[in-house]
């Protein structure tokens, strides 16, 4: 597991697109780059479908061929690099974000072995996604802490409160 914090290549590309200087007078940049961002964002949300990956390929080819300014061609290059990177393949094929920076491709989980059953995460969770009960001694049927994938919005609030580092992202 990679350390949390460093962003993945997909998010990196998104950030690059937001910063790059386009002349913004041809369709490649005006609409093409917006479509790229749209598709990549969809991917980070975990909603990517196989056709999107095709479209991204088309955009990378098309923008390189047709963009009018240097910015556009550069963006096309960055996109092409992304598409051939291992990380991207992980995103698409394994539906996983190795950097855990794409919320849609990440799951929050309580590692039972480390959990001290203090219940702090349950207290901070605004979504009520943490299930389980505080540990009471001599009670045999206590309920361990787990995170409901349906409810969890991946906001990350529970991470810092856990003294045992028992919440992990996969």
Partner 1 sequence: MSELVRLQIDGQEVAVPKGVTIIEAAARIQIDIPHLCHLNGLVPSSACRLCLVELEGTKDLVVSCARGVREGMVVWTRTERVLAARRFVLELIWSAHPGDCTTCEKSGRCELQKYTYEVGIERNRFPLRRDEQPIDTTNPLIERNPSLCILCGRCVRICRMRNGNNVFDFVSRGITTRVTTAFEKPLQESGCTFCGSCVSVCPVGSLVERQRRFRGREWELKTTETVCPYCGGGCKLLLDTTKDQIVRARTEKKDDYLCVRGKFGWDYALSKERLKTPLIKKEGTLEECSWDEALSSIAKRLAKIKETRGPEALGGLVSANYPSETLYLFGKFVRAGLGTNNLDSSVRLLSWPTLSGFIQAFGRMDVVATLSEIEAADTLLVLDSEVAVKNPMVGVKVRKALKTPKKGAEGANLITIDSRKTTVAGLSHLHLQPRPGTATVLLDGMIKVILSEGLYDQEFVAANCSNFQEFSARFLEMELDVEAITGVAEEAVLAAGRLYAGQGQKAVIIFSPETSDRHMVARIINLLLLTGRVNGGVFPSLLHSNLWGAAEVGVVSEFYPGYRPVEAATARKELENLWGVSLPSEPGLSAIEMIQAAAESIFGMYILGENPVASFPDKASMVRGLAALDFLVVQDIFLTETAQLADVVLPGVSFAESSGTFTNAEGRVQELNRVLPSQTKPDWEIIAEISTRMGYPLSYHSEREIAAELKTLVSEFSGPRNSAFRLVLTEAEEISAEPDREYPYRLMIGATLFGFGDGSWTRRSEISRLETPYIGMSPQDVQSLGVVAGTRVLVSSRRGRITTTIKVDESLPAGLVFMPAHHPEGNSLTSASLDPVTKSPRFELAAASIDRLQESEPESQCAGDRSLLNLNQTSGIAKWN
Contact residue for ligand SF4 among 14, 115, 125, 166 (CB under 6 A): 125
Q: Pick the stretch among 1-9, 65-73, 75-83, 112-120 that binds partner 1 (CB under 8 A).
A: 65-73
Query: Which residues have C-beta within 8 Å of that of residue 17, sequence separation ≥ 6?
Result: 33, 36, 37, 40, 75, 78
162 binds ligand SF4 (CB under 6 A): no
156 binds ligand SF4 (CB under 6 A): yes
CA distances from 27 to 33, 35, 39, 96, 123 (A): 9, 11, 17, 32, 50
Q: What is the DSSP letter of 104?
A: G
43 near partner 1, rule: CB under 8 A: no
Question: Binding to ligand SF4 by residue 102, rule CB under 6 A?
Answer: no
C-beta of 25 vs 151, nearer to partner 1: 25
DSSP run (H or E) holding 167? strand 167-169
Which tokens sit at 52?
A: 């999107």
Q: Which of 108, 115, 132, 145 binds ligand SF4 (CB under 6 A)?
A: 108
Per CB under 8 A, 45 contacts partner 1? no
> Does residue 32 touch partner 1 according to CB under 8 A?
yes
Instruction: Report d(CA 87, CA 90) in Å as an integer.
Output: 5
Which of 13, 14, 28, 167 is close enough to bind partner 1 by CB under 8 A?
28
Of residues 64, 53, 51, 50, the one with CA closest to residue 10:
53
Does the protein bind ligand SF4 through residue 100 (CB under 6 A)?
no
Site residues (vs ligand SF4, CB under 6 A): 108, 121, 124-125, 127, 129-130, 147, 152-158
């Amino acid at each position: 597991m990679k350390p949390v914090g460093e962003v993945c290549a997909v998010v990196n590309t998104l950030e690059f697109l937001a910063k790059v200087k386009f002349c913004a007078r041809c369709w490649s940049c005006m609409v093409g780059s917006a479509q790229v961002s749209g598709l990549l964002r969809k991917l980070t949300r975990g909603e990517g479908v196989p056709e999107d990956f095709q479209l991204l390929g088309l955009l990378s080819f098309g923008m390189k061929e047709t963009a009018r300014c240097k910015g556009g061609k550069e963006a096309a290059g960055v996109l092409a690099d992304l598409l051939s990177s291992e990380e991207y393949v992980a995103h698409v094929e394994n539906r996983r974000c190795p950097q855990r920076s794409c919320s849609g491709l990440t799951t929050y989980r309580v590692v039972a072995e480390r959990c001290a059953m203090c219940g702090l995460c349950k207290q901070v969770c605004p979504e009520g996604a943490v299930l389980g009960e505080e540990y009471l001694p001599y009670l045999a049927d206590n309920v361990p802490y787990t995170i409901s994938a349906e409810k969890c919005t991946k906001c990350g609030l529970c991470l810092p409160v856990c003294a045992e580092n028992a919440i992990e992202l996969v």
